[in-house]
Amino acid sequence: MLRFKLKEMIAKREFTDGRKITIGEVAEETSIHRMTRSRMINQKGYNTGSENLNRMCKYFKCPIEDIVEYVDEDNIKK
């Protein structure tokens, strides 16, 4: 399963910029619908397109591995 690390990236950018960043702001800057962003953050195993990942990497100025990580589902406590 892929896990999106968007909460961590938002927190990192907030620290760097010294200000609060909202999901709405990120949605507007990336042209990704707010609901899609919310699902990426909150829904385990959410499936999104590569264009959205590309936009997130561009917004955060980072490589893809800073946005997404693979998590072995067999190691997740249920």
11-59 tens-digit pLDDT: 999 999 999 998 889 989 999 988 888 888 888 888 899 999 999 999 9
Name, in order, each residue with C-beta under 8 angstroms of 39's C-beta and a sequence gap of 6 or more. 46, 48
**Structural domain count of the chain:** 1
- Answer whether residue 76 is part of any domain: no
Report the SS3 class of residue 24: helix
* Beta carbons of 34 and 24 less than 8 angstroms apart: yes
What range defines the domain where residue 31 resides?
Answer: 2-59
- Answer whether residue 73 is part of any domain: no
Could you give the CA distance from residue 52 to residue 44 in angstroms, rounded to a whole number?
A: 17
Q: Is the pTM of this model over 0.85?
A: no
